[in-house]
Structures are given as C-alpha cells and as structure tokens.
Structure 1
C-alpha cells in the first residue's frame, strides 16, 4: 500500500492530466477516427474528425447523464452516437427529425412526402476492398438547404426502399452518405436523443490507410482541418 501511495504521489501531475483529458473528451470535445466507408465521399477511412460534445447537450463528465439541453439537432448535421442496436459508436447524417414522415423509393429520400433534390450525377471507380473496384454513382443531395455529396454502389445488393413512417418524438432518422454501404436507421432503427454524442464539424487529420494494393499509410494533407459539409 505504501509503495502504491508513493507511486501515486510521484505521478500525481500525470494522473491529474489524464483525469482532465478524460473529462474534456467526455464532456466538451472528442476526436473520432473513421474506420469504415459508410460516410463516403464526405468522410474517408483514415479521417479523424473533431466532435463537439456540447453541440446538443451538457452531460455530467464521464457519464451519459444529460444535465441541460443546449440546442437541437438539425437536418444535415453529421453526428456521432451510440447505436440503439448494440451500443457501437457510429457516425451518420441526421435526415429525419422528430415528427417527420420519412420514406425512400429507389434511393430517393422523401421527407414529409416531398422528394429531396439530386443533381450532378457522375460515375467513378470506388475501391470497396483491396483489389475490388466497383462503379460508384455520386450526386449532390439537397437536404433542407444543406447540399452534400452522397453515393450509391449499383453493383452491391442494398436496401434502397423504406416504407413511409413517422419519426417518433425524441428520435432521429440517420443515413450514411454511402447509401449502399452503411448500417444506419434502415437497419438499426431511429436513434433516441440520449444516445447522441456530438456533432462532427471538421476533419482534424487524415491518412490514406487502405489502397488498391493493400494496407498503407500516407497522409492526406489536403483534408486536414477541413470543414465537414
């Protein structure tokens, strides 16, 4: 016990730093690496995004206990949250707000029975695994005045239709921008507000760690400190 106390005393500065960092990351701001392609082309594997944990709620540090609502999520926000299915941390885009009527028909999102506008269709190769490249169709989706890029992968089997339903109170309908390669509200259901972690607003740093020739690590300096659309 004495040895433990001496060790703690000798390293108290470092321990205070770790505690402060933990409080900061759980209550104020966090950084979140992107491990999958579900938000392509907006976010790429190897991006590290900066997350504002005070965007919507003030929470008790080191917990998920909400102390105060600060703001409301908006359509088009890119948010991190804990999956209502299994608790996995995910990052998706807010598409449907509480009370919205949401549907999808052939990849077209309908909000309150009005289809979103899409323009600028173009096709390019997309690497979905080392050595496996498929055609990706990219367009600009206008979500309530918030234009952003989305893509579809016609070669993959995917869920492209959702029957109309109303988003429950206090819940949000989330979609990945890579519509044919995203486990989002089409599969995990709507996301309760208390599971929201924060809003991702900038790419902090980025590296290309998966190329056509296998694993690699190369900085993507052009994406560093870039705003998320």
Structure 2
C-alpha cells in the first residue's frame, strides 16, 4: 500500500484537492427529477457555487463565515430538513416574509403573483404517461420566472399564510404540481443551503437513451 501511494502520490493529491474543491467551493449536480421543469430538465448537470452565501467547513454544515445572503428568485441546492436528501428548488420567500398560495396563485407579503404568456404543453410523467400542462410567466415581489402547472390530482395548491422564521427560507419547485418543496418538507434553515445554481454544464435526455442536448450546454439559469 505504501508503495502504491508513493507511486501514485500526484493522483492522490489531485483527488483530495478535487474533493475539497467540490465540498468547499463549487460542485456539479445531476438533476434526476422534473420538479424544476421547464427551467431545469431531468438529465441536466448544474454548476453550484458553494461560496455564494457562506464559507463552510468541508463535509459539514458548520459555517466559518458569511459572504452574502440568499435572495428571492435564487435557484439553490440544499439538504432537505425532512430526510437530508439533496434537493434543488427556487427560493421564493425570505425570513420575515408572509407567504401563501391560493389555487396555485402565489402570494408574497399579501401581493398576488401575476401570470402571463400562458402556453399549453404536455408533460411526460413516466413511460406512456402524459398529462396536460400549462406554462406561464410568474411575476411577484420583483421576480419573474417561468412556471408550470399540471392537470394532476393531489397537488397542494393552497397553503398559508405562513411567516417565514428567522434564518429560514421558503422553497418552491417551478413545476408546481410535481415538486416536493417547502409545502411538504417545511421551511429550510440557512445552514442546510449548499449553494446557488447559476448554469447548466451539460445535459442529456434520460428518456431517450441519454442523447446529449447541446442546446442546453453552458446555459445560464434564470
């Protein structure tokens, strides 16, 4: 073992540096689900800036210093307060905000979101399973993004009002009727936020034999 380490010392150092880089500075995460469609698709690999908000001790949630504050509209990765799984969602409400939803209409501090550019679509939920979808531009609290609604039974289309506690954030998936977000897992403590997703590195269509989607390579996330 000692001989192997000596002969491969450079490679071992590279792996250690790569591990520290991914746990402390930047990371790249494959996205396996459609909870952020149409912004992020299954098979996208997103680049995550781990230094967007905090400097953390590698491999822990221990914060060594703050570099900035999460903002409404940010797309963030975080560890679920429910089961610890890594999720990617959009941050829609800050500490102190009053957030609610009524029949799929989002309210921030009493202001109802406006929905424009309504576009019918079809969403594939599985092999041979397709449901009608409606995409729209959602505008609220100075933020604008494309969201999607599904003709799907059982989605939580109304909640609140809820006051977001200090040091916590409310997350929603852009694919509103197919996302396990703060409506189900609760608000997310700041120390569970990993970083901000800014770009898609590469993308492959997992429903079509992993065919590359070059048009999504190196594209910015909105």
TM-score range for the pair, normalised by the shorter chain length: over 0.9
Q: Does the CA contact (< 8 Å) of 1:95 and 1:143 recur in 2? A: no
Q: Does the CA contact (< 8 Å) of 2:99 and 2:107 recur in 1? A: yes
Instruction: Please point out which of 53, 60, 64 is paired with 2:50.
Output: 53
Structure 2: distance between partners of 1:105 and 1:175: 14
Residue matched to 2:203: 206
Structure 2: distance between partners of 1:32 and 1:135: 29
Instruction: Please point out which of 177, 183, 186 is paired with 1:186.
Output: 183
Residue matched to 1:124: 121
Q: Does the CA contact (< 8 Å) of 1:22 and 1:62 recur in 2? A: no
2:215 maps to 1:222: yes
Q: C-alpha offsets along residues 121-151 of structure 1, whole Å, 9 cap, x if unaligned?
A: 1111111111111100110111433211100
Q: Does the CA contact (< 8 Å) of 1:75 and 1:143 recur in 2? A: no
Instruction: Give the alignment's Cα RMSD to 1 decimal.
Output: 0.9
Q: C-alpha offsets along residues 49-86 of structure 1, whole Å, 9 cap, x if unaligned?
A: 00000000011223321100100000000000000001
Q: Structure 2-normalised TM-score?
A: 0.98
Task: Report the number of matched residues.
Answer: 222
Equivalences for residues 139-150 of structure 1 within 5 A: 139-150=136-147
Q: Does the CA contact (< 8 Å) of 1:103 and 1:165 recur in 2? A: yes
Instruction: Please point out which of 100, 104, 114 is paired with 2:101.
Output: 104
Structure 1: distance between partners of 2:158 and 2:152: 16
Runs of 4+ that moved beyond 4 A: none
Q: Does the CA contact (< 8 Å) of 2:108 and 2:140 recur in 1? A: no
Q: CA deviation at 1:156?
A: 3.3
Name the SS for the 1:54 alignment partner: coil
Change (3 A) 1:143 1:51: farther
Structure 2: distance between partners of 1:227 and 1:127: 24
Q: Does the CA contact (< 8 Å) of 1:83 and 1:89 recur in 2? A: yes
Instruction: Please point out which of 5, 8, 11 is paired with 2:5.
Output: 8
Name the SS for the 1:147 alignment partner: strand
Structure 2: distance between partners of 1:40 and 1:148: 11
Q: Structure 1-normalised TM-score?
A: 0.95
Q: Does the CA contact (< 8 Å) of 2:152 and 2:177 recur in 1? A: no
Structure 2: distance between partners of 1:223 and 1:143: 27
